[in-house]
Structure 1
Amino acid sequence: MIAIPPKSPALSKTRIAAALSLLEKAGHTPIEPPVLQPADVFLDLIGEDIRRRLFLTTGPDGADLCLRPDFTIPVCRQHLADGGTAPADYVYNGLVFRQRADGTGEIPQLGAESLGRADLDGADADMLALSSSVLATLGVEDQDIRIGDETLFAAVLSGLNLPAAWQRRLRGLFGEGQKLTDAIARMAGTGQSAGDASRDESRDVRFGFLSALEGVAPEAAHAVVEDLLSIAGISAVGGRTPSEIADRFLEQAALAGGNGTNAQAAAVLSRYLAINGPADQALDQLRLFAADSGIDLQLPIQTFAARLKALEARGVAASQLHFAADFGRRLDYYSGFVFEIHARSGADEGQLVGGGRYDRLVTLLGAESDVPAIGFSVWLDRVAKTCGEDA
């Protein structure tokens, strides 16, 4: 007998309609992007965590397709396909599909995207304030708002003069918590060593292969990896071509020997990532860190301060926002300011709202020029559980 998952609580249609009306009155146009989307776009842009949970299928022409795992990319694709010109604001309401251990994998979401606004601070403030208002309309008024900024993290990395491979690796792990901590420890020479890895035979072989690649001319090493993949009959892994897999191996080879030469940089980076607290106090901590470390953070700190001022103007006090320097969101396309909203009371169902800035995404999808963009999604199933409401 097939087990049928128990019915989850659902928000009333009245509350959802009120939230959608709020967004439309704010100037957001309803949009309904197709459920079926090209898989390669998501494999490239959405992040490792969600890549593993895609629902994949094949079209009649042999193209790899997937059920949309989020709305942001499909909304941007439709905006471009319709010949849309920026600025443009959209609102959506529907299902996204991600494999998960419990439930059906159908996740109801409501959200908004804002493309092309040149006043970045104002757009950031408007979207965060709007997401908070939407959540209150849905029934969650006691909110814990958490913010982060990948732009600040990237500026700190750049100021540490780390090897390019380490900068890419650490930036790719931003927001990954323990994985980022472990990578910094390895960079400092205090993390897992080759001797530890040798306890597992397959990892020992892999480490030996990476060590052999280290120091080899990039062109020659690239050719070796591609030849080995060809001999093994491997044409693609996880949507990556042999050339892309070879690039990944070469980067891992550059990272394989954490020998402690970057210990001082690791200490500075760890101090930055420890900045945590109310946003107005965090601003003071950021200024002190910049002065002590000698890293030029003038522009990102000015932007941070201007964003807080814009939020204050919209009734969101900086003292009520919680900033964490290590907070990022696990989607590859986010590129700057990020935020989440949780419920202060009741069981922690995870983020109820998640959003942020993705200024590179529309260009990566084919726009001829850069398009600044920011958006947010509301997890309606989690909101329903938090409110204890059933339609």
Structure 2
Amino acid sequence: MRLERSIPAEALDAIRAPFLLAGAAPVDAPVLQPLGLLLDLAGEAMRSRLFVVSGDGGDEACLRPDFTVAVARQHLTSGARAGRYLYEGKAFRVAPRSSDRAEEFLQIGVEAFEAADPVAADAEIAALAWAGAAAGGRDDLTLLLGDVGLFAAFVDSLDLTPPLGARLKRTFSRPRQLKAELEGDAAPVATTERSRIAALLAGLPEAEAAAVLQELWSLAGIEPVGGRRPAEIAHRLVEKAEVVRAGRLSQAEADKVRAFLAVSDAPDAALDAIAALAGPNRAPLDVAIEGWRRRLAGMIAGGVPAERLVLNAAFGRAFGYYDGYLFEVRSAALGEERPVAAGGRYDGLPARLGAETTTGAVGCMVRPARAYAGGGE
């Protein structure tokens, strides 16, 4: 396994210092995490980036690829309604576009489960990540911003049919599927037995659809092959059924979505460009844009230089549990594949982990070896 370069203790102390002032309780999350859970949350495409091992009792597990899910699980187990947690430890992941480059790397971060003003919390967390990253001494940093929720509000402004709007929102972090939607190439449902099953499953919540598919397999004595889980197969069958049921984007609608995704600029200019693209139902988008202006003001007040901010409307991350704003601190020397710090909002994750009552959820992390100006990782 590939290890990061070590950095001087004084540099590590400087990078750690802002996190120690965040008012968070120290926590140590288990290294082993359930593989199935991670794939259900982040998507099957993440399998190639996970370090899979045998867990307790022979169940498949993986080394934690980051701390968000692990800390969220601990928070829910504690029974606390709210909490803010500080972690520092190793994470394990296979590098992008590599089948054999397993990485072990240090992360320092904070995860916050709080009911306070989410926009203010977003600004605080982004400023915290910036402070930690900048403490490493690099002078070429940029804070790249995106928002799953902003795309959702833009889609709502187009006043599409609910099934089509929902399907389009789901493609935001799936570039190939989004491209197919915009080009009118979303696969139709073939008139086969499989299509009738898809139509049946499309009327059920996805968890129930997966259970029905598993029961059908059991009754037929079928063993699934290829590593796909019932939840993934059910999800794809439902999507195919929805293509027919919901219809497709018109050319004008597809052009508007392309224009939205092309927006990348200083945040105020980017927000103005997005506002100009609003469809007939613009109220949700106006609310989201106003929230972004407050969020940006909070980041700048928290110490992020305004000239280092970029809002990219198409920016998303591989981990599928982010459902609000998200960001990366990038170094020009390291490039976009090696962010120095990252984070975002994931309000829906606690419920997906079984929480009956939830608060907001937002967090960030920094990789000290990348933040350190004398390092190359």
TM range (shorter): 0.7 to 0.9
Q: Give the TM-score normalised by structure 1.
A: 0.80
Contact 1:342/1:353 (8 A) holds in 2? yes
Match of 2:11 in 1: 15
Please say if residues 45 and 332 of structure 1, whose CA atoms lie closer than 8 Å, have aligned partners that are also in contact: yes
Match of 1:325 among 307, 310, 313: 313
For residue 78 of structure 2, the aligned residue among 67, 82, 96 is 82
* Contact 1:210–1:256 (8 Å) recurs in 2: no
Q: Which residue of structure 2 lines up, in the alignment, with residue 199 of structure 1?
A: none
Q: How far 1:307 moved relative to its partner?
A: 0.9
Aligned letter for 2:300? Answer: E
Which of 369, 379, 382 aligns to 2:357? It is 369
Give the drift of 1:355: 0.8
Q: TM-score, normalised by structure 2?
A: 0.83
Equivalent-residue separation in structure 1 for 2:203 and 2:353 (angstroms) = 32
Instruction: Name which of 6, 17, 41 aligns with 2:37.
Output: 41
Per-residue Cα deviation, 1:301-358 (whole angstroms, up to 9, x for no partner):
1211111222232233545311111111221111111111111346665211111011
CA distances 1:268-311 after superposition (whole Å, capped 9, x unpaired): 22222222210011122233223x65533221112111112222
8 Å CA contact 1:214–1:253 kept in 2: the answer is: no
CA shift, 1:48, in A, is 3.4
- Aligned partner of 2:375 in structure 1 is 388
Partners in 1 of 2:93 and 2:228 — Cα distance? 18
Q: Give CA deviations for 1:8-35 in whole Å, capped at 9, x if unaligned.
A: 4332233223322321122122211011
Aligned partners of 1:110 and 1:379 also within 8 Å:
yes
Q: Which residue in 2 is equivalent to 1:94?
A: 89
Q: Which residue of 1 aligns with 2:107?
A: 109
Check whether the contact 2:261–2:314 (CA below 8 A) recurs between aligned residues.
yes
Pairs within 5 Å for 1:33-72: 33-72=29-68
* 1:233 aligned residue (182, 200, 222): 222
Alpha-carbon distance, 1:383 to partner = 3.6
**Match of 1:342?**
330
- Residue of structure 2 aligned with 1:286, choices 255, 274, 280: 274
What whole-Å deviation, never above 9, does each CA across 1:86-125 have from its counterpart, x for those lacking one? 1x22221211122343543323222221221412121111
SS at match of 1:98: strand
Deviation at 1:132, TM superposition (A): 0.8
* 1:305 aligned onto 2:300: no
Task: Give the C-alpha shift of residue 146 in structure 1.
Answer: 0.7
Distance 1:91-1:231 versus aligned 2 partners, 3 A rule? same
How far apart are the structure 2 equivalents of 1:279 and 1:144?
Answer: 12
Flag structure 1 segments of 5+ consecutive residues without an equivalent: 195-205
Tell me if the contact between 1:90 and 1:112 (Cα under 8 Å) persists in the aligned partners. Answer: yes
Does the 8 Å CA contact 2:334/2:376 hold for their aligned counterparts?
Answer: no
How many residue pairs get aligned? The number is 367
Q: Distance in 2 between matches of 1:52 and 1:300?
A: 34
Q: Secondary structure at the match of 2:85?
A: strand
Distance (Å, rounded) in 1 between the aligned partners of 2:215 and 2:251 = 34
Query: Which residue, 244, 250, 255 being the options, matches 1:267?
Result: 255
Map 1:150-161 → 2, pairs under 5 A:
150-161=148-159
Aligned with 1:135 (options 133, 136, 142)? 133
State the 1:45 CA deviation: 0.9
Within the candidate set 120, 124, 127, 1:126 is matched to 124
For 1:202, the equivalent position in structure 2 comes to none
Q: 1:20 to 1:210 in 2, by over 3 A?
A: farther
15, 18, 21: which one pairs with 1:25? 21
> Partners in 2 of 1:193 and 1:45 — Cα distance?
24
Larger radius of gyration: 1
- Whole-angstrom distance in 2 between the partners of 1:145 and 1:294: 31
Q: Structure 1 residues 210 and 84, CA, compared in 2 at 3 Å: closer, same or farther?
A: same
Identity of aligned residues (%): 32
Q: Is the 8 A contact 1:176 1:328 kept in 2?
A: no
Q: 1:268 touches 1:293 (CA, 8 Å); kept in 2? A: no
User: Against the structure 1 CA distance between its residues 267 and 232, is the aligned structure 2 distance closer, same or farther, given a 3 Å change threshold?
Assistant: farther
Per-residue deviation, 1:260: 5.8
Q: Which residue in 2 is equivalent to 1:197? A: none
Alpha-carbon shift at residue 134 of structure 1 (Å): 0.3
Matches of 2:234 and 2:317, distance apart in 1: 27
Q: Which string of whole-angstrom CA distances, capped at 9 and with x for unpartnered residues, describes residues 141-171 of structure 1?
A: 3311110111111122233344555434432
Q: Contact between 2:130 and 2:304, CA under 8 Å: does it hold in 1?
A: no
